[in-house]
A and B are shown apart, each in its own frame.
Chain A
Amino acid sequence: MISENFGFLMKGNFDKYSGEWIAVSENKIVAVGKSASEVIDKAKNIRKRTIMKIPNKRQILLL
């Protein structure tokens, strides 16, 4: 794995955050928001964070 945050994201269940952005650090969710900038702002004091947009479970991802 790359980092502790990556390991946490691979093991956890994030279904309830479907379609939302989250920030994680030290094996916990530290911010939730509707946009990347919102979670970055909420978690601005946390240095070792990773952000992710949780895929929307009601949509099929076609890129």
Chain B
Amino acid sequence: MVFSTMKRIEYTHKCLFEFPYFKMGQRHYPYIEVDLLYVDNEKKTEDVMCLLDSGADYTVLPKDLGESIGVDFSEMRVVNPPEGISGKISAKCYISPLNINFLGASFLTEVVWIESNDVNPVIGRKGFFDKFDVSFSQSSDKIALVFHSTPKCCFEK
């Protein structure tokens, strides 16, 4: 089944979706495609492949991607850099609200923007993992997502 990222769906039942891992040589990664929409700029959206990371508290994205979809960082406060398993990030970081559209549903959440081109876009737990039950099957290279029908977070365009 092919979904358009822009088509809104009102889910009335629990739905199970399975996605293959993104493969690069011997390494396989759980990526999903999401549509990003800044709340103050409904005209600019961007479809982005993001790593699904159950270990990340927040969704993390590069700042220049935010600027491309209309996020205004000029009056945004710099926040303490997040800490990962590899230590503290040294680049400037910001937090803003963002709409993440996925499988026809839309979620408003807070995301961390990092001023670095080395950032791999990551979907973290806040705002996403509370909408889906996510399971990773490394042996079969699949991500399984069960969407809980919560009509209030879905919008028809």
Contacts and interface: CB of A to CB of B under 8 A. Distances in A.
Interface in A18-38: 18, 34-37
Given A5-B33, A35-B117, A63-B85, A18 B62 contact: no
A51 B69 CA distance: 13
Interface residues of B, number: 40
Given A2-B32, A34-B117, A63 B84 contact: yes
Contacts, number: 97
Contact of B84 (A14, A52, A62): A62
Interface stretch (B47-55, B92-100, B128-136, B149-157): B47-55
B65 interface: yes
B40 interface: no
A57 to B, nearest CB: 6
Given A2-B32, A51-B46, A62-B84, A37 B64 contact: yes
Q: How large is the interface on A (under 10, 10 to 19, 20 to 34, 35 or more residues)?
A: 20 to 34
Interface in B66-114: 67-68, 84-86, 102-103
Interface of B: 1-5, 19-20, 22-25, 27, 29, 31-33, 46-49, 51, 53, 55-56, 60, 62, 64-65, 67-68, 84-86, 102-103, 117, 119-122
Interface of A: 1-7, 9-10, 14-15, 18, 34-37, 40-41, 48-55, 57, 61-63
